[in-house]
Structure 1
Amino acid sequence: MPVQTTPKASKTYTQDEAFKASLAYFKGDDLAARVWVNKYALKDSDGNIYEQTPNDMHRRIAKEIARVEQRYPNPMTEDEVFDLIKDFKYIVPQGSPMAGIGNPYQIASLSNCFVIGNEGSSDSYGGVMKIDQEQVQLMKRRGGVGHDLSHIRPKGSPVKNSALTSTGIVPFMERYSNSTREVAQDGRRGALMLSVSINHPDSEDFIDAKMEQGKVTGANVSVRIDDDFMKAVKNKTAYTQKYPVFSDAPKFSKEIEAEKLWKKIVHNAWKSAEPGILFWDTVINESVPDCYADLGYKTVSTNPCGEIPLCPYDSCRLLAINLFSYVEDPFTTKAKFNYTLFKKHISAAQRIMDDIIDLELEKIDAILQKIDADPENEDVKGVERNLWLNIKKKAEEGRRTGIGITAEGDMLAGLGIKYGSEEGVAFSTEIHKNIALAAYRASVETAKERGAFGIFDSDREKENPFILRLKEADEKLYYDMLEYGRRNIALLTIAPTGTTSLMTQTTSGIEPVFLPVYKRRRKVNPNDKDVRVDFVDEVGDSWEEYVVFHHRFKEWMKINGHDIDKNYSNTDLDELVKASPYYQATSNDVDWLSKVRMQGAVQKWVDHSISVTINLPNDVSEDLVGRLYLEAWQAGCKGVTVYRDGSRSGVLISNDEKKEEEKEGNGIFPTKRPQVLEADVVRFQNSKDKWIAFIGLIDGRPYEIFTGFSDDEDGILIPRWVNEGLIIKNRNEDGTSRYDFQYKNKRGYKTTIEGLSHKFNPEFWNYAKLISSTLRHGMPIDNVVNLVNSLQLDSESINTWKNGVARALKRFIADGTVAKKEKCTNCNSSNLIYQEGCLTCKDCGSSKCG
């Protein structure tokens, strides 16, 4: 197969030129424009941008699809493909295909996700390192990776090396997690899914691994749960774990209380949103590729978001259908769904997906050529080369595709149907049934022209529940499939569509709308014209408040005669939402059990899986999470994840014993900095310099500190009476982080000082990051003060900064703490303690507060 030789484009654009053109393309939606320019516009390693708007990208993709189409009968033209994908209206290649098709500047895969091998693999260090290297090699080519750890022997098992016994699963979770964090992917980090069977004796350790601060931060984790375990939970009976898992002659087994382990899963998910659950018997029994398990297609894990269960070395490419675009006369009494156009486009989408497999095979050939040309010796290159040969074999032989959707929430609203209602669930199920029938029919038609996938065997599939559903719904399709075969081993999924939905300007994937309307605030500059000042803060800054509407909610407003430029009050906005089809249909409104049942009903018509998160308010009970998981299993879901509002920002601990034993510096802070921290403001004076410190707090303990001058042109000026507020971590337009400080003025309005990092001397900022790092890792405050005091710095201003930091932090040292390595300046005694932040000599009573 020839390797793609697309000529390099010559015309280049600056970041600003591409952004401005894209901003016009997206009709003023700066977030969509920024995401497209940063993630998907064609660019080279030097940062040169070769596409000005998304339609340049769509033309690039259409040209490549049409090139592949020429290999087969009845080819689509470039313009036909372009009309289907332009403006993100109908068919939207997702992620890797969008960035990689026709891209001559990166040698990267078009696959969004991979699963790598462990079935039959050794859990020796050689086997472990092989998987580690395969994971890294895939991530550097832009792929997300999943693999299962059920083959690793449990903790304490005998091994014939210097350790004598196995360390179990958790250390290897850490290894693979750390590898993920090391690999950069064009400004983003790689994505990893680690799974383990509940039947494994170390599954409890796996479930607890991420509850300890700082552990396994580079991976999502999910537990493969079988029906016997769920029945044991339901009936409150015992369950037997084994190694090897499910072996008839295990080397090790133990009996556990299923309900006790279940409660731990539920608690951890309630506490931290992990682990996710994979109902593994449902996954395997429903899987069409598992009809070919003995030929290498046994499903062993999923991709990082869980929507594509895969066998070792298989991969998948994703594409989304914009459901809202098939609603005619949306938000009116005449609204209807255009099934004819919809089915026609599903057929074209499946054909395009098959073309993308050919393009992926070209990409793999380019990767193999790159490996062969690399100067390393053959031993070094062997693992990587064999990895891509294995992936190529699966792609050629199975030709797996991943057609999904976006805008389900907007589609229902456009039709006047309430998301989550019985009518909504029924309509969504009918839509996904139509997708399944149209896609499978297209795969059969493509097989007539191009041949079936290499190992197609109708006898193997005849008892598969999904195939039998197709037969019941459309017998002609079924018997045509028996005669001509099918081009692709599996076809469908529902993936998360975060950035895709930003560009389609719709709700994401199968999810309801998050919020139809919300408010933002922007600062008014003195020279601005035609602006409205809603209030002036204490430091004299003027602010305008403006409403942001969800794009399709705005469309509903226009169609129904509402002024989108009016300055609405909160009461007005509440009334607007109440009158709309989005009322009580947001992610926080939808009944959780009905959402789970909707997922189960739709899953019947999706041959892979569905990525969906059940969003819960902060105050829900653990019992509700358990009920949702149980309902998901009974409804026929293949997997489920819950997210309780705020659950990722709490203190994570590994078990109850660690709660009791935990001391200062033993993981008392969350793994990831929460976006918003409470903050104290401390003012102090060193010599003639006036200083200010912002100290971010978690549970009253210092977590970070920013300090600088408060009385010069580069300083921060806030009212003297402000002594507390919030430090908020935000993003600049270029994607870098910044820290803003927000406080309430005396009239209750929120005033924000943007960019603490830009207000202070860069040297102060860099040292602040250093000191903040020690605080975040839990070093006792008195030790941090000693560290700051011991810094050897030449600059007088930096030494002044050092004294200020020490003074600000001493306020947080617990009274009675013994001062180490300090002596009284009055009597030379070492018997010093901190008292209200001041050093106090217990012998002579003298005090020093500086």
Structure 2
Amino acid sequence: MKEHLTKTPPKTYTQDQAFNASLKYFKNDDLAARVWLNKYALKDSEGNIYELTPNDMHRRIAKELARVELKYKNPLSEDDIFNLIKDFKYIVPQGSPMAGIGNPYQIASLSNCFVIGNSGDSDSYGGIMKIDQEQVQLMKRRGGVGHDLSHIRPKGSGVKNSALTSTGIVPFMERYSNSTREVAQDGRRGALMLSVSINHPDSEDFINAKLEQGKVTGANVSVRIDDAFMQAVKNDTEYTQKYPVFSKHPKILKTVQAKELWKKIVHNAWKSAEPGILFWDTIINESVPDCYADLGYKTVSTNPCGEIPLCPYDSCRLLAINLFSYVENPFTKKASFNFSLFKKHVAYAQRIMDDIIDLELEKIDNILEKIDADPETDEVKSIERKLWINIKRKAEEGRRTGIGITAEGDMLAALGIQYGSEKGNAFSLEVHKTIAIEAYRASVHLAKERGAFKVFDAEREKENPFINRLKEADSKLYYEMLEYGRRNIALLTIAPTGTTSLMTQTTSGIEPVFLPVYKRRRKVNPGDKDVRVDFVDEVGDSWEEYVVFHHRFKQWMEVNGIDTNKNFTQDELDTLVKQSPYYKATSNDVDWLSKVSMQGAIQKWVDHSISVTINLPNDVTEDLVGELYLKAWEVGCKGVTVYRDGSRSGVLISNDEKKEEDTPDSNILTVFPTKRPQVLEADVVRFQNNKEKWIAFIGLIEGKPYEIFTGLIDDEDGILIPRWVNNGLIIKNRNEDGTKRYDFQYKDKRGYKITIEGLSHKFNPEYWNYAKLISSTLRHGMPIDKIVDLINSLQLDTESINTWKNGVGRALKRYVADGTKAQGQTCANCNSENLIYQEGCLTCKDCGSSKCG
């Protein structure tokens, strides 16, 4: 008789078990523990958790990378790789690779970002809709997407359909933005970059599109600016726009005053932090992949944060090297940077990145298998299938990587060098030059072992400025590259490392420290023993104040024998900061022009681009913003974004300059129709409270919430709706007795309409009554952030209704315009009142913490 063997199911952990273990791992850093558990711990669609601490995740990643290594000569072992990535110490796969490598529960890409595009019939409605579908298909697989709109005909130009003239770029910006908002990625919204050339006759409309509150809220926007336009700005001369852009035989010509259009860009960036600027000639001239433009590698746009310019259907995976970990004897007079170990690890990082491409190709095969197995017709699946085939071809052919860094600010502080100083900029430049040389050397050695990327041709690259910089810096490397080729078409970037830096417990990316020290409050019972009451609020609650130190500032204190548990006065804290290497080196201290110069110098050694934001105080002038942008172009930056403190809170509702001063956006009332339309577009929002599954149906008019129905999904009269349904219609109907009802209608995967009757009767009547009150405030145009504040202030008796209150607030927050300042709330981390909404989350601008619950 045969013995039947059953596979032991993998061990699972409760939320509390995993949180407590990861909290211990992060040495009681609550924010780092929650970020890891929510975003990166291995879990399935039922919420089962399979990893207890980040080292379980690191072991999962190391196993998969070691499996790939066995395909090649001189393989790294699992332990070799684990020791490089464990504890986030040296090499940190970012985002999608961290979440997806070795994850059997998600059919998702390992790429952090993609660019898509069209050729030929791209200006047709068919081409435009194809891009819309491709964008959504990528976002559902966890990727950020960028695409350029310069191919779309200008407003008013002739078309051969019933419209007779084109609507121009802006309506399609809104379409793509709305699509982004509809897609959920493991509890977060998709990310989108829209770009357009300054040479396009509709570029001014593009620049102004986000000024109206609530418009294009699902996308970052950047203008591609060429050298001729910048020269016209400097010389105060005219500039000729064309359609098609830069055509020798354009159908449309439009002459503009360059400086006037430039002032609009600068004003809008000063006012609302957008548009960003992409110095396009610099990007193209420096781009190594553009040496292969005729083979499909012509750069057309960037990913959502701007650090990876890409050709259509190419993608990139990101990895950060933790610079702080290469400082020996940090914060002492003996501090030094271990360049020898650093060079060795840069080579390992490039090798790991190349392995990740192999894992990505496997993931794409899984995606294609999933598409083939789906029940839709081949006709429905054709665009998605062709999309992934195109992406796979580019990944196989070019093998693009994205090695970056984090902890630049802490590295310099640990060495006793002031961020932003001449010495600091010079040392950072040396570090990034080293990364470039050693990563390219590793790619050449990989080509020798594994083969060059398929279209490598040294002759094509011989005039490229970046390649020639490498040749001048290390001729041996250059001639080896001529002999063996290179494994990867492009290698380097500097990306934002928001959640990564929380887990490395360092400064983010290339940025300086935000604040080295801040205060936090915790609620206490004044009757308890050994409790200090520092503050009593307006409702009589008692709070204890305590100091929170930036992790590496605390390390500086410990190295210098300063008691980190002491209850410091503010004067003592100020004195401490002055004594530290973080003094005059925070994001608010660093000289802006020096930071731009630093970015331009480092950009010379980064073959992709750098994501960096110049943070400015509220009182800076528009002229300074213009000066920074101009300086960025002159020193060789590929892109630049500014953020003026509080700038997002004053978004305009029109181009009327008078309204700009008189009508801050927090007081704008949305004007809805006086009579409720019979049919409304609707979003479906799911959330979880106290392990209960909840759902909200939000009726929209022009993308703005008009009404809401919400409650438990698994109520005894609950709603049965597939998880993939994210939108549909809310239809006003009548019952046989003449009473009103509201139905929800969606299309199933075959395209058939499915109707759920009587939303108003599906939920507990108490929820319905409160929902009617909220819907009434929505319909009268009260700003969403004010409604969220109102909901938060409700004093409700029962726990279930309070849970409902939290759910409704969470569902509506996603519609608050990014940058809107929160009123009457304080940061749970540092007690600051300087809170803004970003993608539905409350983000503290003082300490950087974010709360999405």
TM range (shorter): 0.7 to 0.9
Q: Deviations over 1:273-297 (max 9, x none)?
A: 0000000000000000000000000
Q: 1:774 aligns with which of 768, 774, 779?
A: 779
Q: Which residue of 2 aligns with 1:360?
A: 360
1:134-184 per-position Cα deviation (integer Å, ceiling 9, x unaligned): 000000000000000000010000001011000000000000000000000
Does the 8 Å contact 1:288/1:461 carry over to 2?
yes
| 2:642 matches 1:637 | no
1:44-79 C-alpha deviation (Å, 9 max, x unpaired): 000000000000000000000000000000000000
Which deviations, in whole Å up to 9, do the C-alpha atoms of 1:675-725 show, x marking residues without a partner?
A: xxxxxxxxxxxxxxxxxxxxxxxxxxxx99xxxxxxxxxxxxxxxxxxxxx
Is this contact kept in 1: 2:301–2:309, CA < 8 A? yes
Gap runs ≥5 in structure 2:
1-6, 672-704, 707-765, 787-800, 802-853
CA–CA distance in 1 between the matches of 2:192 and 2:538? 47
AA aligned to 1:489 is: I
What amino acid does structure 2 have at the position aligned with 1:401?
T
Q: Which residue of 1 aligns with 2:568?
A: 568
Q: Distance in 1 between matches of 2:262 and 2:41?
A: 46
Aligned residue in 1 for 2:456: 456
Q: Give 2:550's aligned amino acid.
A: H
1:16-27 superposed matches below 5 A: 16-27=16-27
Mapped partners of 2:578, 2:481: distance in 1: 48
1:279 aligns with 2:284: no
| Pairwise CA distance, 1:526 | 5.1
The aligned counterpart of 2:122 is 122
CA 520–768 in structure 1, closer or farther in 2 if over 3 Å, else same: farther
Look up the equivalent residue of 1:54 and give its one-letter code: P
CA distance in 2, matches of 1:100, 1:121: 35
Alignment of 1:17-416 (within 5 A): 17-416=17-416
Q: 1:555 offset after TM fit, Å?
A: 0.3
Moved over 4 A (4+): 526-529, 660-667, 761-765, 775-779
Question: Number of paired residues?
Answer: 689
* Cα shift readout 1:243-294 (whole Å, capped 9, x = no counterpart): 0000000000011000000000000000000000000000000000000000
Q: 1:309-708 counterparts in 2 under 5 A? A: 309-525=309-525, 528-537=528-537, 539-656=539-656, 659=659, 668=668
Summarize the Cα distance change of 1:669–1:573 in structure 2 as closer, same or farther, 3 Å threshold: farther
Judge conservation of contact 1:514–1:586 (CA < 8 Å) in 2. yes
Pairwise CA distance, 1:769: 3.1
Q: Is the 8 A contact 1:8 1:104 kept in 2?
A: no
Letter in 2 for 1:325: S
CA contact 2:651–2:664 (8 Å) conserved in 1: no
**Alpha-carbon separation, structure 1, partners of 2:98 and 2:381:** 29
What do the CA deviations read for 1:343-365 (whole angstroms, capped 9, x no partner)?
00000000000000000000000
Contact 2:227 2:281 in 1 (8 A): yes
Query: What is the distance in 1 between the residues matched to 2:670 and 2:90?
Result: 42
Secondary structure in 1 matching 2:159: coil
3-state SS in 1 of match to 2:57: helix
Query: Contact conserved, 2:670 with 2:783, CA < 8 A, in 1?
Result: no
**C-alpha distance in 2 between matches for 1:433 and 1:663:** 49
Residues in 2 aligned to 1:539 and 1:226: alpha-carbon distance in whole angstroms = 58
1:532 Cα deviation (Å)? 2.0
SS at match of 1:619: coil
DSSP-derived class of the 1:544 partner? strand
SS in 1 for 2:64: helix
**RMSD across aligned C-alpha pairs, in angstroms?**
2.3
* 1:610–1:639 Cα contact (<8 Å) kept: yes
For the residues of structure 2 that align with 1:160 and 1:462, how far apart are their CA atoms?
46
CA distance in 2, matches of 1:153, 1:534: 63
TM-score by length of 1: 0.79
Query: CA offset at residue 669 of structure 1?
Result: 6.1
Does the C-alpha gap of structure 1 residues 80 and 654 become closer, same or farther in structure 2, counting only changes over 3 Å?
Answer: same
1:494-524 deviations in Å (ceiling 9; x for gaps) = 0000000000000000000000000011110
| Structure 1 pair 328–132 and aligned structure 2 pair: CA distance change class (3 A) | same
Deviation at 1:777, TM superposition (A): 5.1
Shift of 1:658: 8.2
Amino acid of the structure 2 residue aligned with 1:286: E
SS of match in other structure, 2:298: coil
- 1:444 alignment partner, SS class: helix
Question: Counterpart of 1:353 in structure 2: which amino acid?
Answer: M
Q: 1:768 to 1:612 in 2, by over 3 A?
A: farther
8 Å contact kept, 2:526–2:533: no
Deviations 1:104-132 (A, max 9, x none): 00000000000001244421110000000
Which TM-score applies when normalising by structure 2? Answer: 0.79
- Displacement, 1:548? 0.5
Deviation at 1:340, TM superposition (A): 0.5
C-alpha separation in 1, matches of 2:551 and 2:334: 21
Measured after TM superposition, the shift of residue 765 of structure 1 is: 5.3
Larger radius of gyration: 1
Code of the residue aligned with 1:368 in structure 2: it is: L
Residue by residue, what CA displacement relative to the aligned partner does 1:389-444 show, whole Å, maximum 9, x if unpaired? 00000000000000000000000000000000000100000000000001000000
2:661 and 2:83 map into 1 onto residues whose CA distance is 63
Letter in 2 for 1:635: V
CA distance in 2, matches of 1:665, 1:541: 33
Q: 1:88 to 1:772 in 2, by over 3 A?
A: farther
Q: Against the structure 1 CA distance between its residues 651 and 53, is the aligned structure 2 distance closer, same or farther, given a 3 Å change threshold?
A: same
CA contact (8 A) 2:40 2:98 kept: yes
2: CA distance between counterparts of 1:420 and 1:469? 24
**Are the structure 2 counterparts of residues 477 and 669 from structure 1 closer, same or farther at C-alpha, using a change threshold of 3 Å?**
farther
Cα distance, 1:267–1:762 mapped onto 2, change above 3 Å: same
> Deviation at 1:664?
12
Contact in 1 for aligned 2:649/2:666 (Cα 8 Å) = no
